[in-house]
Amino acid sequence: MPPASAQGLKQVGYVDCPGGGQVVVDRQVAYIAHMKAPHGTSVVDVSDPAAPRQLATLEVPAGTHSHKVRAANGLMLVNRERQPAHQPPPGTVGGLGIYDVSNPSRPREITFWQCGGAGVHRLTFDGRYAYISPEMDGYVGNIVMILDLADPARPLEIGRWWMPGQWTAGGETPSWSGRQHRCHHPIRLGNRLYVSYWHGGFVILDIEDMSKPTFVSGLDWSPPFITPTHTALPVPFPLRGRRVMIAADEDVAKLEPGPPSFLWLVDITDERRPMPFASFQLDGLAGLAQPEFTGCHQPCERVTGTEIPVAWFAHGLRIVDIADPHAPREVAHFLPEPPEGHSRVTSNDVDVDDRGLFYLIDRGRGLHILERA
């Protein structure tokens, strides 16, 4: 484990909380989704980042977790996933919880949208439409789904897409083993969904007609690369005249022992022929076999400039500048001490608020609030 260090970032606040899978900040309120039951979601006032104040907590039943959260327009969405996902325990249900957080001190459940299998893994939300990765009866692994929450009490499915081979009830036969090819989560930009598909790489979908998501292109690099694709994040502005997507592979579920995962930059100017053209790895990690939860995990999906904050598991927060997309470089980092009771840092997710503050959640324990130094 590398020693604690920081360059270009300093801590301004800390929330002592159970380990989390995701953090999002909306109107100076942080919503923290936790990894393990009974801890579900914490709601924290961060208007004074030096003195965060807990407003509310939600719990989930044993045999489930609620490790992802989104908030917008006075609504909070949380996933419910049965655990372990590959062998869901009986007597549990999975799906999507929809809450009124117009008063964040008193979250009120509006409804619970239930689905099959293990439930919903991850999601994005634009204030009306939820882009989710549910398991559904008759399919192998998670698929892509769009829910309309114009009436949040009555979520309406308006579109779905799956990788050919997933719909076994429809006579399809997967060409992969088990749940290796499954939707991790979709991210919308304009009339496209950029969808990470685990060991199936990524796909780009046309959603001009939301009821009929249509395949545009895809790329699967696992194998030969050993780690699955966690996030397909389009950059919302051109870089040197090109359209670029950031792809983050996750340092888990390796196909064989090997080096940690890393970031890719993919040219999607011709979106029917996505072309990886650059990558970023931390110094000293390339080519060296390491245990899982060492390398790349998740970039901040709120892209505000060319400096991309990335939660890098055992190496904390890394700020990667992609201004020159052919030569991404680290410009700042923050690596805290391991949380009490844990031998390693496991930085799982990062968000940035409107003030430019960074929120870094650890799978083991604690939320660090940071600013550029």
The CATH number of residue 96's host domain is 2.130.10.10
Cβ pair 204, 192 in contact under 8 A: yes
Task: Return the residue matching tokens 């970032």.
Answer: 9
pLDDT in tens, the chain (373 residues): 677 999 999 999 999 999 999 999 999 999 999 999 999 999 999 999 999 999 999 999 999 999 999 999 999 999 999 999 999 999 999 999 999 999 999 999 999 999 999 999 999 999 999 999 999 999 999 999 999 999 999 999 999 999 999 999 999 999 999 999 999 999 999 999 999 999 999 999 999 999 999 999 999 999 999 999 999 999 999 999 999 999 999 999 999 999 999 999 999 999 999 999 999 999 988 777 899 999 999 999 999 999 999 999 999 999 999 999 999 999 999 999 999 999 999 999 999 999 999 999 999 999 999 999 9
Region of 113 (left: φ > 0; alpha: ψ -120 to 50; beta: rest) is beta
The per-residue pLDDT for 1 is 63
| C-alpha span between 266 and 263 (Å, rounded) | 10
pLDDT value of residue 320:
98
- Domain carrying residue 243: 5-372
Alpha-carbon span 256 to 328, nearest angstrom: 27
Q: What is the pLDDT of residue 3?
A: 76
**How many angstroms separate the CA atoms of 132 and 145, rounded?**
5
For residue 285, the model assigns a pLDDT of 86
pLDDT at 109: 98
Number of domains in the chain: 1
Query: What gap in Å lies between CA 163 and CA 174, rounded to an integer?
Result: 9
pLDDT of residue 2: 73
* Helix, strand, or coil (residue 332): strand
> Locate tokens 């892509």: which residue?
144
DSSP string, 176-226: SSTTSEEEEEEEEETTEEEEEEETT-EEEEE-SSTTS-EEEEEE--TTTS-
In this prediction, residue 167 carries a pLDDT of 98
